[in-house]
Amino acid sequence: MPLQANLPLREGHQLENYRIERVLAAGGFSFVYLARDERGAPVAIKEYLPSTLKLRIDDTMRPHVADTELARFHFGLKCFFEEGRALARLEHPNVVRVLNFFRANETVYLVMRYERGRSLQEHIRDRRKGAPLEELWFRTTFAQLLDGLREVHKNKLLHLDIKPGNVYLREDGSPILIDFGGARQALADEGLKLPPIYTPGFASPEHHNNHALLGPWSDIYSIGATMYSCLARAAPQNALGRVEKDLVVPAAEAWAGKVADDLLAIIDWCLRLEHLERPQSVFALQKALLGEKPPERHSPKVAG
């Protein structure tokens, strides 16, 4: 599996009240499985299993942790569990629904509602090159997505890994935020070497080198980068590269005359490198989407 040195739970394994069917995703931090509950309903189950800390190399189902890594493993376990507890309190149509969380096999599992559809990344990939942006779809999709993110922030949580791959579009077109990065951030802050908790191009400057500055404005940068990628069909330049020499063509220049001016201004506002120059809350961003003009930019671009 990509980024995973561990063996996943095998097909047919009984995990509490759930029967594992197959692996949906694998990364350096976890496995995600498709499973069935006792009624036969499909669920997605996320298993805490950092590949650089804990190894499952046989069928014992209980991976082995080196004594030197136990403290960090248990710290990450606690963060993952607490994140599951916090997400389970959220019940919003545009945020992944955590149905259950529990300990088993000396690790932690989050049980989530299984959704049918595809990722925004797949939607962008399949959009015909040069095809005009469906502006009504764009406004509707991001308005709903921001409703979900506002609920996340209201509950004192940050997503920390917003990107097209973590925005899921249901079959009816409605978006949901999936795969939060808070527990991974906590592990990274403890010095654990994991694959990046963020995706270059979608992460703010403070994601990279100043975690003390992370806040709602950091998720908003990622929203702006996700919007930009819908137009460019690719991620904008890595934020660290932008700090050195900003090569990102502002949306207001790149798509002038092709996309509504207010949308382009909003994207550029979200992508400002200085965190205090971005929208400071989702509410401020939503007001702009509803017609309130983004503030003028008075400071020059940060560049080398």
Per-block mean pLDDT, blocks of 10 residues, the chain (304 long): 71 96 86 96 93 68 77 82 86 95 92 95 85 87 96 90 94 93 53 57 91 92 97 95 96 96 96 97 92 64 41
Best CATH choice for the domain 14-113 from the list 3.40.50.620, 3.30.200.20, 3.90.79.10, 3.40.50.300: 3.30.200.20
Q: What is the pLDDT of residue 170?
A: 96
Q: What is the pLDDT of residue 53?
A: 65
Q: What is the pLDDT of residue 60?
A: 65
Phi, psi of 93 (to 5 degrees): -65, -15
Residues 16, 10 contacting (CB under 8 angstroms): no
Determine whether 37 is an active site residue. Answer: no
Positive or negative CA dihedral for 218, 219, 221, 225? Answer: positive
Q: What is the pLDDT of residue 300?
A: 44
Angle between helices 282-289 and 261-270 (to 10 degrees): 160
Please name the residues in contact with 195: beta carbons below 8 A apart, sequence gap of 6 or more.
3, 27, 28, 29
Strand pairing partners for 175?
169
Q: Which residue has 């925004």 as its token pair?
A: 120
Architecture per CATH, domain 117-289, reads as: Orthogonal Bundle (1.10)
Q: What is the pLDDT of residue 2?
A: 46
In which residue ranges of the chain is CATH 3.30.200.20 found?
Answer: 14-113
Catalytically annotated residue among 161, 179, 246, 268: 161
In which residue ranges of the chain is CATH 1.10.510.10 found?
Answer: 117-289
Comparing CA positions, the residue from 106, 96, 238, 77 lying closest to residue 157 is 96
Residues 288, 262 contacting (CB under 8 angstroms): yes
